[in-house]
Amino acid sequence: MKKTSTRLADGRELIYYDLRDDTVRDAVDRRPLERTVTTSEIRRDVLLGDSVAVASHRQGRTYLPPADECPLCPSRGERLSEIPESSYDVVVFENRFPSLAGDSGRCEVVCFTSDHNASFADLTEEQARLVLDAWTDRTAELSHLPAVEQVFCFENRGREIGVTLGHPHGQIYAYPFTTPRTALMLRSLAAHKEATGGENLFDAVLERELADGRVVLGSEHWVAFVPYAAHWPYEVHLYPRRRVPDLLALEEAARTEFPKVYLELLRRFDRIFDDSEGGAQESPTPYIAAWHQAPFGTLEEFDGVTRDDFALHLELFTIRRTSGKLKFLAGSESGMNVFINDVPPEAAAQRLREVASS
């Protein structure tokens, strides 16, 4: 992997990740951009104990432009975009409309490929490995920023999810706090560790899932399963078999094997609803793919828990519950955070085993 860092016209950082070591990246951003001004503010909800990012400048962000005006495609001729070069392998750059900025953290965009019509599932294993290396590198770099406590790499895919740019891409959020979802996991870890005399909860969960029959696919270094209490109609958790706290600690053998396993999982997701209930094929499947990593800040409030107790894992889920129908977060989910799942996890696991990608 070759890494080349440069600056866009408004001062934002842009980084090329290339498969070839002899690739030269020297194109200049020719757009007449003024420096980005953000109004991101973190407000604490004292009743719920969580935080809300208020970012009014995001109201003006680019929304579903036509393909020939996509800001994530390479720049070609007089068609100028966020990427000055005429082609690229993987690119990461600071979001022009960030939810978090300055003392409130940082937001980055990850472009998986220059092919506007592709998806992550269309990548080769070599390309997918490059994305993994980029995620890892950005996790390392962002963890050193004074304001950052947790790094979150994720992909939103599909208009149903709320994606505003159709180009295959993901994002990285660097939060100035430990996120509420991670804090819940850490509290559960601490309670279980104390109650069992030191047993790790993540290890116990993985052992149970391996025994209970909800495994979708497994390899020497990875296991993908539908969790016992899945929140979403089709939800898969992907764990390395050897527990590590973050992408930085992932061993080389697991990194090498990841592209094959993850691409297979994504391709199965695209086949869930094919010919479902006698209907027409309905691909691609909208989804969210989310990496969960241990925070880099202090864990003093979680008694007895260290970073090494946390288990790196990826959660992949879709809001589509059946062909032509979405799972909406209505009263119980949005009002009380109590999910109601219409698809039994065992049935979801069986379906995902049946639709092995061709």
Instruction: Dig out the tokens for 117 from the structure.
Output: 């019509």
H helix intervals, 171-317:
180-195, 201-212, 252-269
Residue in the structure block whose two tokens are 């995620």 = 135
First to last CA, the chain: 30
Q: How many CB atoms lie within 10 A of CB 313?
A: 21
DSSP helix/strand/coil, 263: helix
Residue 14, C-beta contacts closer than 8 angstroms, at least 6 positions apart: 5, 6, 7, 8, 29, 82, 83, 84, 91, 92, 93, 94
Distance between CA atoms of residues 201 and 346, nearest Å: 21
> 53 forms bridges with which residues in the sheet?
42
Please answer whether residues 296 and 272 qualify as being in contact, where contact means their C-beta atoms are separated by less than 8 angstroms. no
Residue in the structure block whose two tokens are 């109609």 = 233
Task: Let me know how long the chain is.
Answer: 358
Catalytic (active site) residue 169: yes
> 6 forms bridges with which residues in the sheet?
14
3-state secondary structure 80-126: CCCECCCCCCEEEEECCCCCCCHHHCEEEEEECCCCCCCCHHHCCHH
Instruction: Dig out the tokens for 31 from the structure.
Output: 């757009």
* Catalytic site residue from 57, 144, 167, 169: 169
Please answer whether residues 222 and 241 qualify as being in contact, where contact means their C-beta atoms are separated by less than 8 angstroms. yes
Q: Which residues are catalytic?
A: 169
